[in-house]
Amino acid sequence: MEKARARAAPAATFGGKIRWTVVLPDGFQKKQELTTKVIHASDVTSLNYDHVFAYNPEGALLGVHSRSEAAAIAQAGGFPQFTSLPRTPSP
């Protein structure tokens, strides 16, 4: 019985209460299914997410950032692919 509970824990962690927003290049179709919404980079107007997972064009993970880290990266000019993200002009 204990082994069955241990195997079930990861599924519960990523269950129906977790929502995912996936940002893909414009060539991909936007859609929403169950807990996942697929959008384009030009649709990102806020980094108000719990975590931001950044990947390179080949699909390799570049980094995992908290909300505050992602905001600091964006303010420093990072995430240039998000063209609709508001930016504070540099002094």
Q: What is the pLDDT of residues 20-57, one digit of tens each?
A: 888 887 788 999 988 888 888 888 888 888 888 888 77
Overall number of domains in the chain: 1
Task: Tell me, yes or no, whether 2 lies in a domain.
Answer: no
Q: What is the pLDDT of residue 1?
A: 44
**pLDDT: which is higher, 89 or 56:** 56
pLDDT in tens, 50-87: 888 888 778 788 888 888 898 888 888 888 888 887 76
Q: What is the pLDDT of residue 51?
A: 84
Residue the block writes with tokens 């962690």: 13
Task: Tell me, yes or no, whether 48 lies in a domain.
Answer: yes
Task: Tell me, yes or no, whether 68 lies in a domain.
Answer: yes
Task: Tell me, yes or no, whether 8 lies in a domain.
Answer: no
Range of the domain at 54: 17-86
